[in-house]
Structure 1
């Protein structure tokens, strides 16, 4: 039975993302998700007693999906692959674009002062912020990450995707940014501003 409950819970989260994609974060209500899944509201409340619980779980779900996509592209978890593999995966995933739901959920997660969004923790595992005394190569590598973030935001907000050839050249340029020697392999170093591990719902 626990497996059945988990399957239903995952189905609710997938439906909730669909609601956000269609109606925005404000449209994410218990009634809307119950209607999307075909569940009764009491059945939904069994898994998520409040809208806040549901929204937090949706944030975790989408961040975890991003984390898994990164692992697929990199060929392993961040602690098991090279810095070059992490950087290439990050650039490629950013260049792949995003959904309206992802963009809205990211913005929503950043709107609460003092919060530790699951997105931030996932990103820090793959592309940690360098320390204040980072050397020039580390700064250049971080600049490539920021450029990839900008590419992701451009694709999400411009309303028109970049031409495929231009996107490919941008990806190749960002992947080619030199990495510091000490980051050539092994786990990512934690920067001074690293976020804590994500909380599980």
Structure 2
């Protein structure tokens, strides 16, 4: 199936972010995206009325993709899984996903623009819920998630990537196992 105009626009914006090699960071304009996607600027603005709307669209697309990948890795919706299985799905996804500079930029830009954090929170928060899990187990699950987060950031940026990412993934999954099987407390 041919991509929709909206998908073409988002793909063009991500391509531009991937190609950007400036030391000052990524700069995407409505003009550059319209040119890359083969649309006029008014044609692009029909789908994304402003640069912020375009950026939110990029983040929403990325968050949807992450949610889909985690669902595939976990084998079910987050509501149908234990906190431990949700975290296993996330760890496996974060440590095996093919990532790029653009992926990292799309995620990291939420730090500077709070409106860009919302799609991540809405799509991924359910994967990290730990209701009914004791304090020590929650700490282990958080450590596993942070391990996965650090690994994908290192892989996406190319800054200090793991020599053996599979071994790191196994250690992070071991933290999840320790949280589930070593947990002596049932509630916080």
Task: Give the TM-score normalised by structure 2.
Answer: 0.79
The unaligned stretches of length 5 or more in structure 1 are 184-190, 192-201
1:59 Cα shift? 1.1
Q: Is the 8 A contact 1:130 1:139 kept in 2?
A: no
- How many residues in Structure 1 have an aligned counterpart in Structure 2? 177
3-state SS of paired residue (1:179): helix
1:32 Cα shift? 0.9
Q: Provide the C-alpha distance between the structure 1 equivalents of 2:118 and 2:112, rounded to a whole number of angstroms.
A: 10
Q: Provide the C-alpha distance between the structure 2 equivalents of 1:83 and 1:18, rounded to a whole number of angstroms.
A: 35
Match for 1:16 among 5, 13, 16?
A: 13
1:141 Cα shift? 1.8
1:174 matched residue in structure 2: 172
The unaligned stretches of length 5 or more in structure 2 are none
Q: Is the 8 A contact 1:99 1:156 kept in 2?
A: yes
Task: Give the TM-score normalised by structure 1.
Answer: 0.74
CA shift digits 1:93-121 (9 cap, x unpaired): 22125211111122211113587432233
Q: Is the 8 A contact 1:91 1:148 kept in 2?
A: yes
1:79 matched residue in structure 2: 79
Q: Is the 8 A contact 1:48 1:54 kept in 2?
A: yes
Q: Provide the C-alpha distance between the structure 2 equivalents of 1:22 and 1:47, rounded to a whole number of angstroms.
A: 23
Q: Is the 8 A contact 1:74 1:85 kept in 2?
A: yes
- The answer to which structure, 1 or 2, has the higher relative contact order (CA under 8 A, 6+ apart) is 1
Please, what is the CA RMSD of the aligned residues? 3.0
* The structure with more helix, counted as a fraction of residues: 2
